Chain A
């Protein structure tokens, strides 16, 4: 018994020294031993070799839809009203029942080829013994080797964040405090990133958000914050929580100003805007980090940006974040998984591989209103990240669509019908596939 105990103690010591020596300390100083990148390369090789067979064929539904539509729109533009006009709406309706552009954004992306995680393969059929064995090995590695490592790192990272920021908070407000605060924040986020085996590639670093600006990015998961904060310091904006999150929030605020709102304050848009404006006006404050979509989307598209963030003024620094879905599904489906469940899933994926693009800063043009500006920024982000630019509102995840959009459709159809009576129709004949 005693022997076993002493062996266990030795193992634990080795474990900790490996962790501290090889992972934490380089992480704290922003260096990398390159282990993660080697791991990623090996992983890619394995996935390519073993899972080639599962590639599914199939053209897109949209291509074929487009062809059918050509016939139907012709039929509509030729006559006034025909009994078959209603068929057009029936088909559109049925097609949206079979698959639609919006609701699929609120669930995880489907992969073309499997990445050896059962959670991403919905139709898991038994393919071959070899694949099953490799999958089994994968499970063992992910749950028994990677997971304990990552959890320990995450705990250390968060604890250090709380302790470090509290200690820094005791200093008087001067440059030393700011410098130390940034150092502490960076170190802790780097440790947390290691805790997720995150490999982040930053592009265009010269466009990095500056003090007194506002950073906007597309939102896929709470991990976005860790990803962005690995390369710079931001002032976070959000609701004050209780519990563990609350402890972290309160200690962070001690070392440098973040903007935490009470739940009641959040409903008052003016109060929110004025607080953010005050923060931005003080040019020495860190750039604010905002996710204008307002909710997590599954990283295949960018949904409508809420114009509130674009009314504050100041310079906007857009950032595009794209996760590589082969290594793990980063999307947080908050309807399905709570935060703890989600983090556990993250820590048992292969890795998190992210590309972050810093886009050149933008400001509101003369004569442009906040909504148009928001759209402009959104298109830039979607274009850079290779995501679909959608005009649908992310809040459709939980709320119903507004009646006005149906009225728009009716109006369009009416002008088609009336326009044939000799009056020139002003409305251009366009497909209303995407509407605000």
Chain B
């Protein structure tokens, strides 16, 4: 963590990020400090290797998917704004959050945005459906080599059966919400300052 952390982030930028993501001033500076400590190349952006250097993330079975979520389509670098935007999905929902602007768009960390984010982690091709293959992919990442193809296939089939309501043999976003909703409350991270 360099002592140049707070000097490189201008006040206007902090304000913009605050408006866009809802993080507080101290949370933003704290995360900027973290961003710069991960940025070994010191060029203001993070690459996939920078994320891979975190051991706890590298051993996470879904680590690669999580890392991909930070990078927009086809890009290899993410800057601080992008970094914050992704993390903003997981900012805890506070009771006292009032929309200052009635026509402002929904905050990034609203329940449905969180679920959409989680849904997209499964639905790689963005066709708004989780197909059997996409589900199998995630399952395979989580269990490694420890479960056979047939067993994994039947688990996937069963899961789709339980969630699928319109019989198209895939899980749409609405069907996903019904399954995932209970746990969505716990999908937030605390950034403690």
Query: B-side binding surface: helix, strand, loop or mixed?
Result: helix
Residues of chain A lying within 8 A (CB to CB) of residue B192: 58-61, 64
How far does the alpha carbon of A59 sit from the alpha carbon of B3 in the complex, in Å?
A: 24
Select which of B5, B55, B146 is within 8 A of A100 by beta carbon: B55
Interface residues on A, range: 35 or more
CB-based contact B62/A86 at 8 Å: yes
Stretch at the interface among A121-129, A249-257, A264-272, A289-297: A121-129
Residues of chain B lying within 8 A (CB to CB) of residue A83: 122, 159, 163, 171, 176, 179-180
How far does the alpha carbon of A34 sit from the alpha carbon of B57 in the complex, in Å?
A: 50
CB-based contact A102/B179 at 8 Å: no
Does chain B have a CB within 8 A of A38? no
Residue of A with least CB distance to B114: A87
CB-based contact B179/A98 at 8 Å: no
Known contacts A124-B3, A406-B61; is-contact A84 B183 (Cβ 8 Å): yes
Does chain A have a CB within 8 A of B142? yes
How far does the alpha carbon of A100 sit from the alpha carbon of B56 in the complex, in Å?
A: 7
| Most chain A CB within a 10 A radius of its CB, from B5, B31, B147 | B147
Does chain A have a CB within 8 A of B190? yes
Interface residues of B in 148-188 (CB under 8 A from A): 151, 155, 158-159, 163, 171, 176, 179-180, 182-183, 186-187
CB-based contact A400/B58 at 8 Å: yes
Select which of A61, A65, A102, A410 is within 8 A of B55 by beta carbon: A102
Against B, the Cβ 8 Å flags (1 = close, 0 = not) of A80-122 are 1111111101111111111111110001101000000011011
Does chain A have a CB within 8 A of B87? yes
Does chain A have a CB within 8 A of B124? no
CB-based contact A410/B3 at 8 Å: no
Query: A-side binding surface: helix, strand, loop or mixed?
Result: helix
Does chain A have a CB within 8 A of B93? no
CB-based contact A93/B63 at 8 Å: yes
**B interface residues, tally (CB under 8 Å):** 57
Residues of chain A lying within 8 A (CB to CB) of residue B37: 103, 107
CB-based contact A86/B143 at 8 Å: no
Residues of chain B lying within 8 A (CB to CB) of residue A365: none
CB-based contact B61/A98 at 8 Å: no
How far does the alpha carbon of A408 sit from the alpha carbon of B5 in the complex, in Å?
A: 36
Chain B min CB distance to A331 (Å): 12
CB-based contact A413/B61 at 8 Å: yes
How far does the alpha carbon of A103 sit from the alpha carbon of B57 in the complex, in Å?
A: 11
| Most chain A CB within a 10 A radius of its CB, from B29, B87, B142 | B142
CB-based contact A410/B144 at 8 Å: yes
| Most chain A CB within a 10 A radius of its CB, from B56, B63, B145, B176 | B56
How far does the alpha carbon of A146 sit from the alpha carbon of B140 in the complex, in Å?
A: 62
Does chain A have a CB within 8 A of B54? yes
Does chain A have a CB within 8 A of B193? yes
Interface residues of B in 1-23 (CB under 8 A from A): 1-3, 5-6
Does chain B have a CB within 8 A of A388? no
**A-B CB contact pairs (8 Å), 5 listed:** A86-B122, A93-B63, A96-B60, A122-B33, A409-B61
Q: For the complex of A and B, list the 8 residue pairs with the smallest distance between their C-beta atoms, beginning with the closest.
A: A410-B144, A414-B146, A96-B56, A93-B66, A84-B183, A405-B59, A414-B143, A89-B62
Residues of B within 8 A of A (CB): 1-3, 5-6, 29, 31, 33-34, 37-38, 51-63, 65-66, 87, 90, 118, 121-122, 138-139, 142-147, 151, 155, 158-159, 163, 171, 176, 179-180, 182-183, 186-187, 189-193
Residues of A within 8 A of B (CB): 56, 58-61, 64-65, 68, 71-72, 75, 80-87, 89-103, 107-108, 110, 118-119, 121-125, 392, 396, 400-401, 405-411, 413-415, 417-418, 435
